[in-house]
Amino acid sequence: MTFRHLSTLLVALLCTVASAAERPNILFILIDDMGWMDIACQGNEHVHTPHVNRLASEGIRFTDAYAAAPVCSPTRAAIVTGLAPARLHITNHLPHQDRFTPEDSKLLPAPMKDHLDLDYTTIAERLKADGGYATAFIGKWHLYCNKDHQFAPQHQGYDINIGGCSFGGPRTFFDPYRIDFLQDRKEGEYLPDRLADETIQFIRQQQKKDEPFFVSLFNYTVH
């Protein structure tokens, strides 16, 4: 999906939500670093993904699109804001250290920031302000590098943050995870299962309330 098309898609989504008589609940699932042929409906004959196949057959597939970036941090920044990675000054994974470009090179990479600025309006902030949505972020954020968490999801429009921190990957995929904003629960529990459970719990809690919800489930796998 091109940068312009991504921005247009997000704007269209927000306008639809604002004008609809009933505000739809939104569940956004992002799989980390998945190849375009990693699932069966894309032609993979070795990995069985029946539930994803059903989503593809009964929903909408974007078969002629471009990703905003080939790696995790700029992709997430583009999805969250609807802006191109170059505009956000996040064009590689964080923290990025260029160890290969000679100092006297005629072509130098553009300077990169080590976080997603709070000045940018996120989709969560728009949904909260314009639609009265309850918002939650669950999983991998990876849009800052420091440990004071001032750029964490709870400061970017999300009411609840579970597991979203500076980590590009977990220390382990089994409890105890040692991930910021994710409490240990059951020794040996698999991280994707835990994040799915947290998402289900949030949705069930919101069903008891008279307000729509927007939950982003950004998995640490299959990174």
Which domains, ranges and CATH numbers included, belong to the chain?
3-218 (3.40.720.10)
Instruction: Name which residue leads in pLDDT, 152 or 147.
Output: 152
CA-to-CA separations, 62 to 35, 40, 71, 87, 171, in angstroms, rounded = 15, 16, 19, 24, 33
Within 8 A by CB and 6+ apart from 198, the residues are 138, 162, 163
CA atoms within 13 A on the CB side of 51: 0
* The Cα angle at residue 163 between residues 93 and 2, in degrees rounded to 5: 40
Cβ-contact 189, 172 below 8 angstroms:
no
Report the distance separating Cα 29 and Cα 198, nearest Å: 13
Residues annotated catalytic, as ranges: 72, 142
Report the distance separating Cα 69 and Cα 112, nearest Å: 14
* Averaged confidence pLDDT in the chain: 88
Among left, alpha and beta (phi > 0; psi -120 to 50; other), residue 71 is beta
pLDDT digits (tens, 9 = 90+) for 179-208: 999 999 999 999 999 999 999 999 999 999
Tokens of 162: 């579970």
Tokens of 214: 């927007």
Q: Which of 28, 37, 113, 34 has its CA nearest to residue 79?
A: 28
Query: In the predicted model, is pLDDT for residue 15 greater than 60?
Result: no
Q: What is the mean pLDDT of residues 155-167?
A: 97
pTM of the model: 0.85
Per DSSP bridges, beta strands 160-162 and 134-139 are parallel
Q: What is the pLDDT of residue 2?
A: 45
Report the distance separating Cα 199 and Cα 29, nearest Å: 10
| Burial class (CB within 10 angstroms; exposed 0-12, middle 13-18, buried 19+) of 57 | exposed
